Amino acid sequence: MTFYSRVIGTGGYLPEEVRTNEQISQTVDTSDSWIYERTGIKSRRIAGPNETASSMAEIAARQAIEAGACDPEEIDLIIVATGTPDRIYPSTGCLLQQRLRIKNCVAFDIQAACSGSIFALSIADQYIKSGIAKKVLVIGSEICSRVVDWTDRGTCILFGDGAGAVLLSASDEMGILSTHIHSDGEYESLLYCPNPQAATEANKQEAGYINMRGNEVFKVAVNTLGRIVDETLAANNMDKSEVDWLVPHQANTRIIEATAKKLKMSMDQVVMTLENQGNTSSASVLLAFNEAVRDKRIQRGHVVLLEAFGAGFTWGSALIKY
């Protein structure tokens, strides 16, 4: 029997604190209009001092479990995508498993930067299609605010915190139609976050903050996401007009608009959360997907294209019949 991975529940969490462009402009040389014109961001959420990737993931995960009317003990696998784990080890997945009090499942993290949730969905899909797992919880959870240098205008304006989740179940109904993931380490110097504890003599002075060469990243991202759209549609023998919704990684309005143009989609068909959330890295696609499911824009039967691009470089897509 052929199984599909079908989304049966979604969830999301955003911290309470809102940090506006105006607030940032009080500490670095920028302004609300400068930030908004270049990124499309007006504000972002900042995790509280006692919040962690696992605590935010727990809230999003419980929402997805409730929406899927699932007993937590039915979950066979938990995959957490994060670049800001609570600890180096154990994994944030294991910490989330403990928070959810689930005993009989496997839990682990994956790290693919902003593409993390797409990579996690791809892995989950393979587990379900192979028959190894029947229910898989996928979460993207990030506290980017703790790896941002708040004196660096080029990066501090971009990032925010949050967690998004989906619960997948084996089904004979179509769900995830295909996933496509890629990476190319050649560009690692354009976007990276050092680990000071693992530093060599040559780079031991580097602080553990995000470093980014924005213009170069922008050019590669636009070209790469254009190719992933073509690849995804070709793999499914599908025309652009058959895609109902684009749910992109929320990094920059101009990158999102370029991808929508490639699909010949109106921006009315694009789920946008960037303005009031910023770039929440691996959480962003699932947060946006959850929002559109819960406000009923995305309906059962709709074809949804999720895509993301991140440090590595990594990039990928998931085509879903919701």
The gap between the terminal CA atoms of the chain, to the nearest Å, is 21
Asked whether 117 and 81 are in contact (CB, 8 A), the reply is yes
Cα dihedral 143→78→8→53 (10° resolution): -10
Tell the residue number behind the tokens 């784990």, with chain if given: 85
Choose among 158, 149, 163, 198: nearest CA to 15: 163
Q: With CA atoms as reference, report the closest residue to 164 among 47, 73, 280, 71.
A: 280
Confidence at residue 41, expressed as pLDDT on a 0 to 100 scale: 98
CA distance 225 to 82: 21
Question: Do 213 and 305 reside in the same domain of the chain?
Answer: yes
- State residue 201's pLDDT score: 64
Is the same domain home to 156 and 217? Answer: no
186 with 155, same domain: the answer is: no
Q: Could you tell me which of 156, 126, 149 has the C-alpha nearest to residue 35? A: 156
Where residue 79 sits, what CATH number does that domain have? 3.40.47.10
Q: Per-residue pLDDT tens, the chain, 322 aa: give them.
A: 778 999 999 999 999 999 999 999 999 999 999 999 999 999 999 999 999 999 999 999 999 999 999 999 999 999 999 999 999 999 999 999 999 999 999 999 999 999 999 999 999 999 999 999 999 999 999 999 999 999 999 999 999 999 999 999 999 999 999 999 999 999 999 999 999 888 776 666 678 899 999 999 999 999 999 999 999 999 999 999 999 999 999 999 999 999 999 999 999 999 999 999 999 999 999 999 999 999 999 999 999 999 999 999 999 999 999 9
The pLDDT assigned to 206 comes to 76
Pairwise CA distance, residues 69 & 204, whole Å = 49
Are the C-beta atoms of 226 and 193 separated by less than 8 Å?
no
- Is the same domain home to 55 and 153? yes
245 and 161 assigned to the same domain: no
Say whether both 77 and 135 belong to one domain: yes
Count the alpha carbons within 13 Å of 238 in the hemisphere toward its beta carbon: 21
Q: Are 117 and 82 in contact (CB under 8 A)?
A: no
**What is the residue range of 195's domain?**
177-321
Q: How many Å is the maximal CA-CA distance in the chain?
A: 60
Compute the distance between CA of residue 295 and CA of residue 316 in angstroms, rounded to an integer.
26
Question: Are residues 118 and 209 located together in one domain of the fold?
Answer: no
Domain boundary among 121, 143, 173: 173
Question: What is the pLDDT, as a whole number, of residue 203?
Answer: 66
Report phi then psi at 187, rounded to 5: -100, 20
Catalytic residue list: 114, 249, 279
Q: Supply the pLDDT for residue 205.
A: 65
Report pLDDT for 197.
Answer: 83
What's the confidence (pLDDT) of residue 200?
Answer: 73
In terms of domains, do 123 and 227 share one? no
CB atoms within 10 A of CB 203: 11
Given the DSSP bridges, would you call strands 77-81 and 106-110 parallel, antiparallel or unpaired?
A: parallel
Task: Tell whether 204 and 134 lie within a shared domain.
Answer: no
Number of structural domains the chain divides into? 2
pTM higher than 0.85 for the full model? yes
Q: What is the 3-state secondary structure (H, E, C) of the chain?
A: CCCEEEEEEEEEECCCEEEEHHHHCCCCCCCHHHHHHHHCCCEEEECCCCCCHHHHHHHHHHHHHHHCCCCHHHCCEEEEECCCCCCCCCCHHHHHHHHHCCCCCEEEEECCHHHHHHHHHHHHHHHHHCCCCCEEEEEEEEEHHHCCCCCCHHHHCCECEEEEEEEEEEECCCCEEEEEEEECHHHHHHEECCCHHHCCCCCCCCCCCCEECHHHHHHHHHHHHHHHHHHHHHHCCCCHHHCCEEEECCCCHHHHHHHHHHCCCCHHHECCCHHHHCECHHHHHHHHHHHHHHCCCCCCCCEEEEEEEECCCEEEEEEEEC
Question: What pLDDT does residue 202 have?
Answer: 63
Q: What is the pLDDT of residue 198?
A: 81
Residues written for the chain? 322
Residues 271 and 289 in one domain: yes
Q: What distance in Å separates the CA atoms of residue 143 and residue 10, rounded to the nearest whole number? A: 20
Q: Which of 153, 173, 193 is the last residue of a domain?
A: 173
Q: What tokens appear for 60 in the block?
A: 């999003």
- Last residue of one domain, picked from the residues 173, 201, 232: 173
Regarding whether 138 and 159 lie in a shared domain, the answer is yes
153 and 197 fall within a common domain: no
